Amino acid sequence: MPEIFISHIHEEAIAASGVRAFLARFELESFLSSETFQLRSGERWFERITEELQAARIAILMLSPVSVLRPWINFEAGWAWAQRKITIPACFGGLQVGNMPRPYSDLQGVQLETKHYNLVWDCYHHLGKDKLPDLPTPDETVPLRRALEGLRPIISPISGNK
């Protein structure tokens, strides 16, 4: 099972998938419930999510102005926190690390649009990997940036950000 669990809301699955693909480029395997190859038809999804959260060492919380208010993100975040998992708030879509509400603001977060490589470094650190990977080329960050930017039309009318 993957050592990284990515928590997200359904509407932001594109951004979460971009983060999963970006981490995979650095050989960091993660679980993403919205990926059909990871959670299959017929599975008891709640049990599978619970198993993946239990097995993970790191929980990445995809936090936007919309998701930070959703019960599911709060549920998974609380579960990870209570299980003493490394819990990393990954802010995007207009939510700034410095503006996270409590209790998220009690955790060191990362700004995905500008500090996405820090997420890789931090995962390497928390997983005890010895050698940090090389910096990605600008071309290697394009899919992640596009996934994050693709959500602006969805988020902007709700959050008021442009």
pLDDT in tens, the chain (162 residues): 889 999 999 889 889 988 998 899 889 999 887 655 556 677 777 787 888 899 999 999 999 999 999 998 999 999 999 999 999 999 999 999 999 999 999 999 999 988 888 899 899 999 998 777 776 666 666 667 777 775 443 333 334 443
pTM here is: 0.82
What are the domain boundaries of the chain?
4-159
SS (H, E, C) the chain: CCCEEEECCHHHHHHHHHHHHHHHCCCCCEECCCCCCCCCCCCCHHHHHHHHHHHCCEEEEEECCCHHHCHHHHHHHHHHHHCCCEEEEEECCCCCHHHCCCCHHHCCCEEHHHHHHHHHHHHHHHCCCCCCCCCCCHHHHHHHHHHHHCCHHHHHHHHCCC
What would the CATH number be for the domain defined by 4-159?
A: 3.40.50.450
